[in-house]
Structures are given as structure tokens and as C-alpha cells.
Structure 1
Amino acid sequence: MGRMPTALGTGLRSSIGTRRGELARPMTAVRAAGYTSGGRKSTFDGVVANAVEKKVDLARQKMLKLEHQTFELMKESIFAYEAKTFKVALEKAKEAGRKEREAAKQREQYKLGEAYADMTFAVLNNLAQQYLANGMLNDALNTYQVIVKEPMYANSGRLKVNIGNIHFRKKDYIRALKYYRMALDRIPQFQARMRCKIQNNAGVALVRLGKYEDAMAHFEECMDQGGDYAMALNLVLTAYCLDDNDKMREAFQRLVDIPVMVEDEIKYNQVSFDNISPQ
């Protein structure tokens, strides 16, 4: 028959050898180093994960340190304000703002949780107050506007009173009145004392605009809600501007019926944003 081809002969020998219990030779003898069909993980992945975790942990520590520095600077700012060193108070407030923004950036970049809204609110509110103390009305106004435009600040609506007071000091009584009314819309009825103070400020703005009858309506509403000595005095002065003797007599009677307390005395040497009386 002749000699069997080499390839066929090799195949037959392999087949016969397998039947006799010999192990079959693998089809491919060479494999990539470190690879198996089961997908063995490389140790490099674990190293990367540990590095990322360490980096995030360092970022968290840095963020917490910045937040602590922010609170300390705010305390120093408030203490400086109480000591009437207003420039120092403003510088501390600005530095607190810078630290707070840096902390917020760390929080956002490394996804370290939700924004700390209360701290941001406190920093901005203190900064606006320090601007006011230094007579920087426009800067204070801009800072308050940033706060009230942010929906995450639940109580920011009350700061519209502060915005109204700034417009009042700038003699822009129409805008002041607008913000006082906007603030009233945000104050619930059961907070009568707060509403009374805002009503009083709105009444004073109306006096400056020459709208005495509207102003009197505001002052009378204040007195119905339990107004203080200064509000009653505003009512007397408004009745005098209207040249209404009966109203003056009635307002004066309401004035003398109020027991004068120490905290009700008008302090003419201070600027009060809660209680502005016509001068």
C-alpha cells in the first residue's frame, strides 16, 4: 500500500495513545502570563483602590479642618464686632468666607456628602452684617441678595427685612416698602411680634413717602398686636402729620397706657434695624 502520510500517521498515533490512557497534548502550549479563563484579578487593581481611598480620606480631613477654621473665624468676627472693631470683624468675616468656599469645593470634588447649607448661610449672613457695620451698603445688599435667591436656605425670606432696611438707609423708600411687604408674606401669623416690627418699618417708609393715612393703618395694626412704646409714638406723630386731633388724642392715650420697660426705651445713639422711627 505504500507509506502512510506523516500527518495522518501522527494523528492516528495520538488517537491510539489517548485510548490507551495517555493524556492528550493541549492544542496550544503557550499562554499569556498572569491570564486564565477565570479572569484572575491583577494586584494592580487593589493598589489603585487603596490609593483612591487614601486620597479621599485626606480630602475629608482637609475639609473638616477648613470647616473648623471657618467657625473659629466667624467667632472671632462676632467678638470683634461686639468690641466695635468693625474693620477687624469684616476681615475675619471675609476670611471665613474664603475658608468656607474652599471646604465646599473639597466636598463637591470628592463627593463627601451634601453641601453644609447652615454653615454657608451663617457665613454669608455674618459677612453682610459686617458690611453694614462698616457702612458698605451695596456690598451688604449684594450679599443678602445671594442668600435670598438660594432656595436651599429655608429662612432666607426673613432677610428681606434686612434688604428693606438697607434700601431705607439709602432713602429708596419705595423699594424698602416692597421688601417689607415681601417679608410679611413669609412670616406666619402666629409670629405676631416679628410681623409687628415689619409693619412698623413699613409704616415709617410710608411716612417718608408722605402717605400718612396708609402709615397710620400700619401703626394701628401694630398696636392691635401689642406694639411697644416706639410704635405708639409713631402713631402719635402720624396723627399729628394728618392734623387729626381725635386720632392724636386716641394715639396719645394708647401711648401712655404702655408700661415703659427698660428695653423699650429709644436709644438715639444707636442704629436699630428692627425699629426705625421718623426723625
Structure 2
Amino acid sequence: MTHHILLVEDDPVVRDLVREFLQLEGYDVSVLHSGKGLKRRLQVERPTLVVLDIMMPEKDGISALKELRVAGDDIPVILLTARADVIDRVVGLELGADDYVAKPFDPRELLARIRTVLRRHGAIVPGAPENLPPYRFGRFEVNFSSRELLRDGERIMLRSGEFATLKIFVKHAMTVLSRAQLNEKLRGHGVTYRDRSLDVSIWRLRRLLENDPSEPRYVQTVWGQGYIFVPHGELGAAERFVQEHAVQTLQAH
């Protein structure tokens, strides 16, 4: 399958360089010079992924991304940002960007990001819905068939990466999962995982699930080991679970 990339970039030098590079790597590439027509373009042409520059005339990338997400469009998006624009990067991630690349960048870095995002989306969007019953915890309910998260009956919009991460946590509740294990379950065995997508997914999940993301109850950190999903949301459960497991292991030996 040949993937189709839509590059939204107003700088003709960057646009031509990226287009030629990606085409040499086997991708179909189309271009758009402004974020103003992105939503309309996606109604007539459906790429696999959008590479979206933030700094553009008429409509900037942040506004274009927000318009897509408000409309419920979940297409993968990688932002191109100025290196100093930390606020734009944070806002972009909060709005639902899958990743970002800071300018100036090596086209090979962008290629690596594209491959990672496509691999992640391909791995977590199955061909048929899973016949798993809804899972309830706290105020939340996960519906695997419709790929929805409900809070007090109200649907919460989740990116594909967030849903996949939550699904893994739910399937392995009260089990410590290392970063390597989480990445392997998300992407498959033997895949390199040097990008920030796992951090982003966990960060977003905590902002959605936790009353206080700085003191998480559901997705707790086990320092030096990884993360643990605590369905009952008890603070300190991670530490107690690890201690009890260590005692049981010692007794078994």
C-alpha cells in the first residue's frame, strides 16, 4: 500500500524539498499552501497523514488543526513548528496533534516521525471491532466496539494512540508495565521506540481521567519500572502493589 501524505506548507523551498524527499521514499505527496482550505480539501481528498506547518498566512496550523478536531476529524497530523515555539507545540498536542518536528529539521527526522505515526495508527485500528464487553472504572466506561470513552455517560474524544494505550492498561489492570512493554504492545516486537508518542498519550490520558494529573489515581507511575493502571483509583496503590509483589517473590524463593 502506498501512503498518501498531504503537506500543508507556505514556504516553497521547504515544500519542494519535503515533497521530493518523501516521493523518493515511495510516498504519494500532495501539497496545500495554506491551512485555510485544509478542511475542505480533506472532504474531497483523503490522505493517510497530514504534515501541517504552524506559521502560515490566512489561517495558521493551530487554527486549522482545531477546526478539524472540533469537526470530529481524527486524521493523523504532524506539526511543523519553529524551535522556540514551546507554547504552540503544547497547544498543538492538546488539540490532538500526533507529533511535531521543530524547524529547521532534517527530512530524515520527519520521515521517521511519519513512519512511527503511521505504524501506530495501523497497529491500533483493527479491521473489525473487538467483541469485548464494556469496561467500567470510577466515573468512566470504555466501549471497545465503538472505541469510545464515556465519563458520566458523556463521550470524551480520544486520539487513536490514547485509546490504544488505555486499552492496554485496561487489559493489564494492576500490572506494572515498563515503557518497553507498552511500546511493544502498541507497535509490535522489535520496533524502535525513540519518539515521544507514549509520553504524549499518557500525558493526555491523565488530563482526561485524573482530577489532578500531577497526582494520578488511575495511571500511576512506578518509579524506575514503568506504569500501572489502578481501576479503583486509590492513591498509593502502585507502591503497595509493588511492595506486596516483592514480598511474594521473596517468599516464593
Which is bigger in relative contact order (C-alpha 8 A, separation at least 6)? 2
Q: Name the TM-score, length of structure 2 as normaliser.
A: 0.23
Task: Choose between structure 1 and 2: higher strand proportion.
Answer: 2
Name which one, 1 or 2, has greater alpha-carbon Rg.
Answer: 1
